[in-house]
Amino acid sequence: MPDTNQLFALDRLDPQVTALHERMGALGLASADPLTMPIAQARAAAERAHVFLNQNAPPIPARDIVAEGPVGPLQLRLYRPPTTQDGPLPVLLYFHGGGFAVNSVDTHDRLLRLLALRSGAAVVAVAYGKAPEHRFPHQHDEALAALRWVARHGASHGLDGERIAVGGDSAGANLALGVALAARAPGEPRVSFGLLFYGMFAHDFHTVSHRRFGDGRYGLTTARMRWYWDQYLGHAEPTRDPRAAPLLADLKGLPPLLLLAAGLDCLRDDSLRLAERLAASDVPFALSVYESLPHSFASMTRLVEAADGAVTRAALAVRQHLTEAFARGAQPTEA
């Protein structure tokens, strides 16, 4: 007998997502699965697919910057939204997803432009080194270096180093949360807000969402997640290092966070568990679970209305915490 939970889940998939997948299939845009193709081929497939997904992105100015990283040059891309306000712009420091192994700033170009345009904040996107060529803690160290660069050198690019949010999706959400945790230390730049799309926060494949959604019906699989963690860590053993698995960290003292989870995602419970721990640690947060959407929905804004609405929700939260709250002279207490 078919699993009734699976039948219910299948009925919930947003029909616009189904239509998107069918259209991409008809165009020959293969899934970027590093389990079935060499990593270089998977990366190229991801770039091709996102050229389609990124069409009709808002034409706002963007330019590449080379910053000093912990082990060499660090590539950043600065997106500046149009503004009539005087003075430096607040900043959303963003880390793209892709299991630490695929994707790029280019694959996330439409999302980054939308976040800048709708939030009114400049977006600084980080082209961190990918696994397995670079392994933990390389990406964490580059992410923290990017935060320090914004705080120390952003003024020369019209950026306000006192108003910084961090954000990311999937592996990028892991980095964003790790940076927010590190920023609590004395002498580090202050992070005012965190934006976390469907993050991979712990090396754990035994959650309810992995059991229910990890077979690949909606894209991301548990097997692929195991592979991504192996490339990132360089071994298959679970890690207790909170820089790699921030769900295990002491979360007290974090800034307000917004968690946006996909309901049809093997990583859904990473966000739900993080929300439980944030509540227990008295960290202000909000959690939105988009029940009919799969992993990576933030890249589907061109053709999926619910995904576009979620990105708008995220951008408005950034605006609230970096612009409106500062105009009132106080920080909001909730995400």
* Residues 215-264 pLDDT 10s: 999 999 999 999 999 999 998 677 889 999 999 999 999 999 999 999 99
- pLDDT of 333 strictly over 50: no
- Give 185-229 pLDDT, tens digit per residue: 999 999 999 999 999 999 999 999 999 999 999 999 999 999 999
Choose the weakest-confidence range: 17-26, 28-37, 74-83: 28-37
Confidence of residue 329 (pLDDT cuts 50, 70, 90): low
pLDDT at 5: 43
Pairing state between β 285-294 and 193-197: unpaired
The three-point CA angle 32-38-43 to 5° equals 40
Residue 170 bears catalytic tag: yes
- pLDDT of 10 strictly over 60: no
Residue 157 bears catalytic tag: no
Residue 109 bears catalytic tag: no
User: Which tokens in the block code for residue 213?
Assistant: 């959604």
Domain chopping of the chain, boundaries: 4-328
Prediction pTM value: 0.94
Point out the catalytic residue in the list 141, 265, 270, 308: 265
Q: Tell me the fold of 4-328.
A: Rossmann fold (3.40.50)
Residues in a beta bridge with 95:
126, 168
pLDDT at 238: 75
Enclosing H/E stretch for 334: none
Confidence of residue 84 (pLDDT cuts 50, 70, 90): low
Point out the catalytic residue in the list 140, 203, 295, 321: 295
User: Which tokens in the block code for residue 186?
Assistant: 């004395």
Please report the sign of the dihedral spanned by the C-alpha atoms of residue 51, residue 57, residue 61, residue 62: negative
Point out the catalytic residue in the list 104, 170, 292, 299: 170
Query: Which amino acid belongs to residue 323?
Result: T
Confidence of residue 3 (pLDDT cuts 50, 70, 90): very low
Query: Which amino acid belongs to residue 264?
Result: L
